[in-house]
Amino acid sequence: MHAARRTTTVLATAALATTLLGGGLLATPAGAWSAAAPRVDLEPAALTRGPDIAVPHVEGDDLVVGERRTDLPGARARLLGASGDAHVVSTSRQDGRRGRVLRVGADGSLTTLVAESTDIDVQLSEDGSRLVTTSYESRRASTIGVLSATTGEQLASRAFAGYPAVLSAKGGRVLLSTERRGVFWWSTGSGRLRTVTLRTAGLANITHDLLTTYTDDPYQDGCTLLTRLSRPNRVIWRSCTDRVDAFSPDGTRIATVDILSDGIGPGRVTHREVDGTRLATYESTGWFGAFSWESPSTLLLDTYGRRKSAVVRCTLAACENATDPVRTEPLPG
């Protein structure tokens, strides 16, 4: 998501698009605003402590699922998602080396799926059945691998030109994006490739038929388009100021940030209906790291305030700390 330090990584799924307007690239304008949409300044030091995070997540080097905590190897861990009644995590040393991908069973058992993941990107498919790995081997080509999320067995592998980005995967299909080819499907069984759109992509969700793309490079006045994956020219929402960074679990809402947000993380996150209508805007006295959804209407935001940092839970204007606040460490330099 962002290149920010994370206090907690939260399991979240992505979402469903509903209302589409007309033909062509017409959509709800970026400025659509609910009359009651609040703006909330978030400083963890000033918020009350609410309940602990309710969804599976990582705290330090522990995987927390309800009342069960599983100690994970390594100093850093990231939750990739659920796979049946198990969960898949990536772990590494503090410096990012000695990376591994593990399956954590409901009984706390650990199964190694990828023994060395330091130099590859790893994602879990939406149905939790497969891992998709990306190995950037040279400027000319990169290799995408598909593995069983149960055993780690390799199921498919293919080299693609340039630097392909894995947008999502489900069943025997992987959705990819490259600068030259745009967005396209790879059917791992037949090997068939099928173009979706020539635009460069941001996020996608196969289950709920959502895709975000850009009309051009955002640094060259490109705009965000939120469309159906199956009908990429039917635009739900268009914005030249914001990009979509997260879909709600039921697909009725999105979280957006400044389209050029980069570096440590954004200073603003906007909670919207899927058509772009603003429901609430959150501004940090410092910055936001990772953020995700605890429910279809509740956001969890890693919030780094001027004094304290915590995971903050917000349901529209009602916000509270979901973790104990800790001192915000000064940025290096």
Query: pLDDT per residue over 48-104, tens digit each?
Result: 999 999 999 999 889 999 999 999 998 899 999 999 999 999 999 888 888 999 999
Task: Average the pLDDT over 228-251 and give the result.
Answer: 96
**What's the confidence (pLDDT) of residue 252?**
93
Answer yes or no: is pLDDT of 19 > 50: no
- Of residues 74 and 269, more confidently modeled: 269
Q: Which pLDDT score is estimated for 7?
A: 39
Give the pLDDT of residue 33.
Answer: 52
- Between 281 and 140, the higher pLDDT residue: 281
Share of the chain above pLDDT 70, in %: 89
pLDDT at 283 over 60: yes
Give all domains of the chain, ordered by start, each with its CATH number: 14-325 (2.130.10.10)
| Burial category of 73 from C-beta neighbours within 10 Å (exposed 0-12, middle 13-18, buried 19 and up) | middle
Is the pLDDT at 36 greater than 90? The verdict is no
More confidently predicted of 138 and 266: 266
What are the tokens at 199? 């635009």
Q: Are 150 and 114 in contact (CB under 8 A)?
A: no
Report pTM. Answer: 0.86
Q: Mean pLDDT, to the nearest integer, of 227-240?
A: 97
Exposed (0-12), middle (13-18) or buried (19+): which is 113, by Cβ within 10 Å?
Answer: buried
Query: Would you say 270 and 26 are in contact if contact means Cβ atoms under 8 Å apart?
Result: no
C-alpha neighbours within 13 Å on the C-beta side of residue 106: 3
pLDDT exceeds cutoff 80 at 31: no
pLDDT in tens, 117-145: 888 999 999 999 999 999 987 778 899 99
Query: Quick one: how many helices (H) and strands (E) in the chain?
Result: 0, 30
Q: Which two tokens stand for residue 311?
A: 């995971």
